[in-house]
Amino acid sequence: MIKEGSINGCLAGKILRINLSNGKIRTEPTAKYAEKTLGGRGVNSLIMINEIKVGTKWNDPKNLLCFGVGSLVGTMAPGTCRTDVSTVNVFSGGKGSANVGGFWGSELKYAGFDNIIIEGKSENPIYLYINDSDIEIRDANLIWGKTIFETENILHQELSDREIKIASIGPAGENRVRGSAVIIDTAKAAGGSGVGCVMGDKKLKAIVVRGHGKINVAEPKRFMREVAKCYQQCKNEPNVIMMRKAPFNKYSNPDYEGWNTNMVVRNGQDDYWEREKRIELMNVKTGVPNIQKGTRACYLCPIGCMPFMEINKGKYKGTKGEGFWINTIMGNACRFDISDPKEVVKSWSLANELGLDGDYIAAGLSWVFELYEKGIITKKDTDGLKLNWGNGDALNKLIKKLAYREGIGDLLADGMVEAAKKIGHNSEYYLIQVKKQPSIEPFRIPKGWSLAVSTSPVAGRHLRGATMGSNTCGPRPRPGNFNVIDYHNQAKGVVWQGKTKELEDNLGICNYVGTWTGANFLTLDNFVELINSGMGITLTKEELMDHYASIGINLEKAFNVLHSNISREDDLPPKRFREEKVKSGPYKGSKVEGTKYNKMLDEYYELCGWDKKTGRQTRTGLEQLGLKKIADKISKYDKLVM
Amino acid sequence: MYITINPNLCYSCKTCQLVCSFHHTGAFWPSKSSINVFRNPQDGIIEWSINSTCDDCKDEDTPLCIKYCVYGALSFFKEEKKGKKL
């Protein structure tokens, strides 16, 4: 276990706290939080549960917006670039968290900070300029109202420094569109939970960082020996080339199994997308791959998974940028039945330009398309847009309306659950959401994925334990069942993957370079050696998994129990997928079987040490993790199971 | 001694820059690196430069920037005619 005062490497050392209501800036040491959680997301979660009072809403000035860079970020450990953004979830009212790569997190550490905690709310639009230890709150009038791309260009000019790194919001965040993202380096999104909406509510347009400092490790020679080993493993990993070309290499093949197991079609009417549409979208010579002009990597990444896209002709000529990914195929193509590659690429680019979460667009707006198909809304409601399946032009116009709150966009901007209440006519049934956040995930076919997404403490996202990646290409052995369509023993895999993801978020390791996609990428043994030699501590693999990998999920669960009353019912997949079967394809007839799913959920709660009936935590479980104070707090609200 | 870059192979992960700084300082300190990689994410441009502090990692078998480049974008030549100097 980590002893008090023993960490002597990897951390930048300070947490920066800025109160936007009164302009006060202060710092405090990171170590006391990192000793309990290892860093990154864990530090954010600890600060949130300790400091945000029960009853605080996302738009309350007392809500905190927390940026947490992983402990290994800034060192040479491969794939370490990740930053967690946490706040009150604008959808569920519980824990909100989104994770992002790029170059911003490492820059913050070179400037001397591990975390930034934003308190209060500014009266006027501002941005933060962190230049090593010089911290300025600056007027943002020049950039308010601008797109992400325009904002970055203006800031580079104004500050006369092309090496600054920028985390900003677009017009969507400014307009407090619920599904707004924080965008880093123009293309990397901290997407979920509405973190960009909270940033906009605080009138914080951007956080600009420039760092000239260094990160030390406790035992440099020993640390670099492990780093060299990690790079060699990554080089030898057979999946590395596949990962580098994933959307194109695999999905260009219309018979690739992922087309059958991962896609949700026409807002969940089916989970099978017709073969001819797959070919039209992903044909190597005429489809999305033809729009790719190169590939880029995040900081220190040995995989390099970001295609650089550029449309050279037609009405979208000049659209370009990095980061197109499989989610765009799942979301903006299949869910809308759009097989025109340029329309799909444009919709992805618009999300980045306007600062929207791609999943919110996909799950939220495909629901609107279905309401149009069913006649629940008509052209009168959509300002004349014909929201027919396959109409990419209409989707791209609707995305702009959403970001700028124009016409129907204003109704949708306050969240789809709220919109459904206003629209009525049983429209909420067709909305695919978990804990009120629209979700693009597949639920009916991959069972471990379904369990992980439904139980995710940050509402309907797969980066808290979804196991399909590791079923198809990830590390073996690992606990759980590798047959994705089977219910049996999936909970073990979900809990294991959730724990390793927690370590990755706390250390700042990308999930792809970590435990998700390849047997030879970084393993738990690598984690232990990197932490021990880097931070100067002596942890065992058992301590890492049994204690430190379990703290974060319990902090997030506790936050949800205290702040949003999330119960067992909220850990079920969307109702539609429990009632309607897949209509076509090899998995025709599949749906979420209630009894089998509930058995899986029982196993999941049991493995987490939570009460099966309510899904809530127990005093014994929390005290075993040293979280007695949190147990007392939950008990005070009569929500602890004794 | 020449370090050369194949621009088509570089993904601009900047690993070369960080390991170079470790060679010089024993810490991870990119502003003290001899090699610099700049990337503009909007237009896709990547630029590379090496300044006069580069010592070809004389105490290593291979310069560290080359050793750690998993994309194979950097090469090292002892003879001038074999590559374009970065």
Please write the tens of the pLDDT for every residue from A495-552: 999 999 999 999 999 999 998 887 789 999 999 999 999 999 999 999 999 999 999 9
Contact B28 A214 (CB under 8 A): yes
Alpha-carbon gap: B84 to the closest alpha carbon of chain A (Å): 22
pLDDT at A250: 85
Asked whether the beta carbons of A392 and A337 are under 8 A apart, the reply is no
Quote the CA–CA distance of A504 and A83 in Å, as a whole number: 10
The whole-angstrom distance between A625's CA and the closest CA on chain B is: 33
pLDDT for B81: 53
Burial of A599 (0-12, 13-18, 19+ CB in 10 A): middle
pLDDT tens figures, A363-374: 999 999 999 999
**Alpha-carbon span A234 to A303, nearest angstrom:** 8
Q: Please give, rounded to a whole number of angstroms, the shortest distance from the CA of A215 to a CA of chain B.
A: 5
Q: What is the pLDDT of residue A517?
A: 83
How many angstroms separate the CA atoms of A490 and A446, rounded? Answer: 10
B28–A294 CB contact, under 8 Å: no
Place of tokens 């291979």: B62
Higher local confidence (pLDDT), A433 or A483: A433
- A213/B11 touch (CB, cutoff 8 Å), yes or no: no
List the single residue in B with minimal CA-CA distance to A101: B13
Q: Which residues of A touch B38 (CB under 8 A)?
A: 162-163
Give the confidence band of A243 by pLDDT, cuts at 50, 70, 90. Answer: confident
pLDDT band at B77 (very low <50, low <70, confident <90, very high): confident
pLDDT at A379 over 80: yes
Question: What are A515's two structure tokens?
Answer: 């435990």
Specify whether the CB–CB gap between B24 and B53 falls below 8 A.
Answer: yes
**In this complex, do A310 and B44 lie within 8 Å of one another by their Cβ atoms?**
yes
User: Considering only CB atoms, which chain B residues are within 8 Å of A214?
Assistant: 21, 25, 27-29, 32
- Does residue B86 register a pLDDT over 70? no
**Contact at 8 Å (CB) between A348 and A358?**
yes
Per-residue pLDDT, A608:
96
Q: Do B18 and A185 touch (CB under 8 A)?
A: no
CB A441 within 8 A of CB A453: yes
Q: Are the Cβ atoms of B25 and A214 closer than 8 angstroms?
A: yes
Nearest to A570 by CA among A548, A599, A601: A601
| Residue A171 neighbours by CB under 8 Å, 6+ apart | A145, A146, A147, A354, A355, A403, A404
Q: How far is A232 from chain B (nearest CA, A)?
A: 9
pLDDT band at B80 (very low <50, low <70, confident <90, very high): low
What is the nearest CA distance from B1 to chain A, expressed in angstroms?
A: 24
Contact of A404 with A360, CB cutoff 8 Å? no
User: Secondary structure of chain B: what % helix, strand, coil (to 5)?
Assistant: 25, 20, 55
Taking the C-alpha atoms of residue A154 and residue A611, their distance in angstroms, rounded to an integer, is 53
Sole residue written with tokens 């310069």? B63
**Burial zone of B63 (CB within 10 Å; 0-12 exposed, 13-18 middle, 19+ buried):** buried
Of A336, A389, A327, nearest in space to A359 by CA: A327
Question: Shortest CB distance from B22 goes to which of A76, A162, A308?
Answer: A76
Question: Among partner residues B11, B27, B38, which is closest to A295 by beta-carbon distance?
Answer: B11
| A39 pLDDT above the threshold of 70 | yes
User: A322 contacts in B (CB within 8 Å)?
Assistant: 41, 44
Residues in CB range of A147: below 8 A, 6 or more apart: A170, A171, A353, A354, A355
Q: What is the pLDDT of residue A484?
A: 87
For β-strands A14-19 and A113-119, DSSP reports them as parallel
pLDDT computed for residue A245 by the predictor:
75
d(CA A490, CA A507): 26
Top-confidence residue, A82 or B44: A82
CB contact at 8 A, B34 and B53: yes
Closest by CA position to A217, among listed A67, A77, A14, A39: A77
Nearest one of A348, A34, A368 to A191, comparing CA atoms:
A348
What average pLDDT does range B15-26 have in this prediction?
A: 98
The token pair at A460 is: 């309907």
Other beta carbons within 10 Å of A317: 11
Tell me which chain B residues have a C-beta less than 8 angstroms from the C-beta of A293. Answer: 44
Per-residue pLDDT at A428: 97
pLDDT at residue A241, rounded to an integer: 83
* Per-position DSSP letters for A32-48, written without gaps between them: HHHHHH-SHHHHHHHHH
Sheet holding A95-100, edge to edge: A25-29, A14-19, A113-119, A65-69, A83-88, A95-100
Q: What is the mean pLDDT of residues A3-32?
A: 98
Mean pLDDT of B6-14: 95
State the average pLDDT over residues A176-203.
Answer: 97
User: How many Å lie between the alpha carbon of A346 and the closest alpha carbon of chain B?
Assistant: 15
Percent of chain A with pLDDT over 90: 91
Q: Could you read off the pLDDT of A111-146 as tens digits, one per residue?
A: 999 999 999 999 999 999 999 999 999 999 999 999
Residue A610 has pLDDT above 60, yes or no: yes
ipTM of predicted complex = 0.95
Contacts with B, A 45-74, CB within 8 Å: 74
The rounded percent of chain A whose pLDDT value lies above 70 is 99
Cis before A477 (ω within 30): yes
Q: Does A229 touch chain B (CB under 8 A)?
A: no
Mutate to test the interface with A, among B6, B8, B11, B37 (most CBs of A within 10 A): B11
Q: pLDDT category, A246, cuts 50, 70, 90?
A: low
Which residue of B13, B15, B37, B66 to mutate against A (max A Cβ within 10 Å)?
A: B13
Confidence of residue A94 (pLDDT cuts 50, 70, 90): very high
Is the Cβ pair A297, B25 closer than 8 Å? no
Which residue in chain B has the smallest CA separation from A185?
A: B41
Q: Verify whether the Cβ–Cβ distance A297 to B39 is below 8 Å.
A: no
Residues of A in contact with B14 (CB under 8 A): 103, 299-300
Per DSSP (E only), the strands in A219-377 are 292-296, 306-310, 320-322
Rounded Cα distance between A172 and A198, Å, is 11
Spatial neighbors of A133 by CB under 8 A, at least 6 apart, are A111, A112
Q: Are the Cβ atoms of B32 and A103 closer than 8 angstroms?
A: no
| Cα of A312 to nearest chain B Cα, Å | 13
Question: What is the rounded average pLDDT of the residues A199-221?
Answer: 98
B53 to chain A nearest CA, in Å? 17
**Alpha carbons A370 and A429: distance in angstroms, whole number:** 11
Question: A189, A290, A187: which is closest to A248 by C-alpha?
Answer: A290
Q: Give pLDDT, residue B85.
A: 58
From the candidates A76, A219, A229, A533, which should be mutated to test the interface with B, based on the most B CB atoms within 10 A?
A: A76
Alpha-carbon gap, residue A267 to A246, rounded angstroms: 24
Which stretches of chain B sit within 8 Å of chain A by CB?
A: 11-15, 18-19, 21-22, 25-32, 38-44, 68, 70-71
3-state helix, strand, coil in chain A (%, to 5): 45, 15, 40
Hey, what amino acid is at A76? M
A268 touches chain B (CB under 8 A): no
**Is the Cβ–Cβ distance between A267 and A349 less than 8 Å?**
no
pLDDT, one tens digit per residue, over A396-405 is 999 999 999 9
What is d(CA A640, CA A286) in angstroms, rounded to the nearest whole number?
A: 58
Residues of chain B positioned with their CB less than 8 A from the CB of A297: 11-13
Residue A135's identity, in one-letter code, is: I
Mean pLDDT for A250-256 is 92
Chain B residues closer than 8 Å to A308 by CB: 44
3-state SS, residue B76:
strand
Compute CA distances A483 → A299, A489, A600, whole Å: 34, 10, 14
Count, residues in chain A: 642
pTM for the complete prediction?
0.97
Q: Please, are residues A164 and A155 in contact by the beta-carbon 8 Å criterion?
A: yes
What are the chain A neighbours of B25 within 8 Å (beta carbons)? Answer: 214
Q: What mean pLDDT value characterizes chain A?
A: 96
Residue A234 confidence (pLDDT): 93
> Beta strand pairing status for A113-119 and A165-168?
unpaired
What six digits make up the tokens of A224? 């670099």
Task: Quote the pLDDT of residue A528.
Answer: 98
Question: What residue in A sits closest to B37 (Cα-Cα)?
Answer: A163
State how far residue A321 is from chain B, nearest Cα, in angstroms: 5
> Quick one: three-class SS letters along A240-262?
HHHHHCHHHHHHCCCCCHHHHHC
Asked whether the predicted pLDDT for residue A471 surpasses 80, the reply is no
Among A209, A170, A164, which Cα is nearest to A189's?
A: A170
**Residues of chain A contacting B70 with CB distance shorter than 8 Å:** 231, 234-235, 240, 302
CA distance B55 to chain A (A): 20
Torsion sign across C-alpha atoms A460, A464, A469, A471: negative
Contact A430, A472 (CB under 8 A): no
A219 CB near a chain B CB, below 8 Å?
no
